[in-house]
Structure 1
C-alpha cells in the first residue's frame, strides 16, 4: 500500500514531522510519501489561502495517481481540494477535517473543534455542514496561534488544554478534535491530561484520522462514487 500526503503549503516546515508522525499510523508494509506545494500559500488560514492552494494540490493528486499511489490525503483541516480531486483521480481522496469529524461524531453525541485562528471558523463550519454532522458540532474554539507558529509545542499544548476544558464545561462537548493538522503529536498527551482532571473524553488527531480512513478505503478496494463525483467534462483548460 502506498499513499501520498499533500501539504497545501509552499513551505516544508512540517514535512519531516509529518513523515515521522505518519510512520506511527501505518504498518511497515505501507509507504507514506509527503509532498508540499510548488506554488500557493505558506499556510491555509482562510478562504483566500484555500483558493490559492487548490490548483497545485490537484496537480499533485494527479501526479500521485500517475506514480502508482493507492490514495491521497489533503492534509489540512479545511479539506482543500478534496471534492475536486475526487473528480479527477480514480484513487480514494480524503481530508483531515472530514475524517476526524466522522470519528468524533461516532464516539460522542457532541464534539468541539479547537483550531488556530478565528479566520478558519467558517471553513470548519462548512466542512461539518457538507459532512452532515453540524448538529453534533457543539462549538469551534481557537487558540489564537497562527499555523506557522505551532512549532512551539509547549505553548500550543497549554493553549489547547485551556480551550478544551472550556469546550467541555461551557459548550457541553463530549469529544474534542484538534482543528489543525499542524497540531501533531499532542492528542494522546492532551487526552491523558484531561482524564487526570476528570474528563474521560476522546481527543481526535486529524492526521491520524485521515490515515486510518484512507487505509480502510484502500483495503476495502473502494473509492469515491462516480454518481457523486462525476469525471470532469472534456474541454480546454489552462494551468499556470
Structure 2
C-alpha cells in the first residue's frame, strides 16, 4: 500500500510540513510518500495558479507506478476530477475531505483562508458540494503561503480569525484552509476551544481507509 500525497506548489518547505502532519498516520502500516510539484508556483493563491498546476500534476501522478491511492494536498483540490478520470485508484482532495470530516465534528464549520482571493474558489467548491447551509464563515488571514513560515505572526492571525469565526459567525468546528498551516493546529485548538481539522490529515486518513477497504473509482465501460 503506497499512498502518494502531491503538493501542487513548488515549496519543499510546505511539503515537509505536510509530511510531518501526516506522520502519525504511518502507524497504520502504510507507506505515505509526499511529493512536491516542481512546475508549480511557490504558493497557490488564486484560481489561475491552481488551474495551471493540473497538467503537470497529472503527469507526476502517472509516473508513480506503485501508487495505490492519491491525495491532492492543496485546499481547493485542483485537478481532483481530472485525476479521478486518469486512475481508478482512490483519489482524495484535502478540501473535500476536510469539509466532510468537519461535518462529523460540529454543526457549522468555519474556514481560515490565507488571502481574500482564496475565498471565492472555496465558496464555489462548497456550493458544488451542497454544504453551504453548514458553512458559518470563511475568513482570510491576509497572509500568503510564504508568510505562513513566520510562526508568531501566523499564530496570532489564526487565533484572532478562529475566534471571530467562533464568536461572530457561530462556527463550532474550524478548518485550516491551506496545506501550509499544519504545524499550528494544536495551538489553534487550545486557543479557540474548538475542534480543528487539518486538511492533509483528513485527506490522508480518508484515502487510507478507502485503500484498506478496497474502494476504487468507477471504471469506464467502453
Smaller-chain TM-score range? over 0.9
Deviation at 1:138, TM superposition (A): 1.2
- Worse-matched range after superposition: 97-106 or 20-29: 20-29
Partner of 2:53: 53
1:17 aligned residue: 17
Given that residues 4 and 70 in structure 2 are in contact (C-alpha distance below 8 angstroms), is that contact kept between their aligned partners in structure 1?
A: yes
Q: Gaps spanning 5+ residues in structure 2: where?
A: none
Contact 1:96–1:210 (8 Å) recurs in 2: yes
Distance 1:104 1:52 in 2: 28
Q: 1:35 maps to which residue?
A: 35
- TM-score scaled by length of structure 1: 0.87
Range with greater deviation from structure 2 (11-20 or 182-191): 11-20
Deviation of 1:187 after TM superposition, in Å, equals 1.3
What are the ranges of 5 or more consecutive residues in structure 1 without an aligned counterpart? 196-200, 234-240
Mapped partners of 2:25, 2:36: distance in 1: 20
In the TM superposition, residue 40 of structure 1 has moved relative to its aligned partner by 3.1
Would you tell me which structure has more helix in proportion to its own residues? 2
2:182 is aligned with 1:203: no
Give CA-to-partner distance per residue, 1:111-145, whole Å, 9 cap, x none. 11011000110111122122221110111001101
CA deviations on 1:65-115 (whole Å, 9 max, x unpaired) are xx2111111100100111110001121111111111001112211111011
Work out which of the two has the higher radius of gyration on C-alpha atoms and give 1 or 2: 1
1:86 aligns to what? 84
* SS across alignment from 2:175: strand
Query: How do residues 57-206 of structure 1 correspond to structure 2 at under 5 angstroms?
Result: 57-64=57-64, 67-195=65-193, 201-206=194-199
Report the TM-score, using the length of structure 2 for normalisation. 0.94
Deviations 1:188-238 (A, max 9, x none): 22112223xxxxx21111111011111111111112334xxx58x9xxxxx
For residues 18 and 100 of structure 1, the distance between their equivalents in structure 2, rounded to whole angstroms, comes to: 14
Cα deviation, residue 22, structure 1 = 1.9
Tell me the secondary structure at the aligned position of residue 106 of structure 1: coil
* Alignment deviations for residues 38-77 of structure 1 (CA, whole Å, 9 cap, x no partner): 323222111110111111111122222xx21111111001
Q: Is the 8 A contact 1:109 1:136 kept in 2?
A: yes
Provide the C-alpha distance between the structure 1 equivalents of 2:71 and 2:18, rounded to a whole number of angstroms. Answer: 12
Q: How many residues align?
A: 222
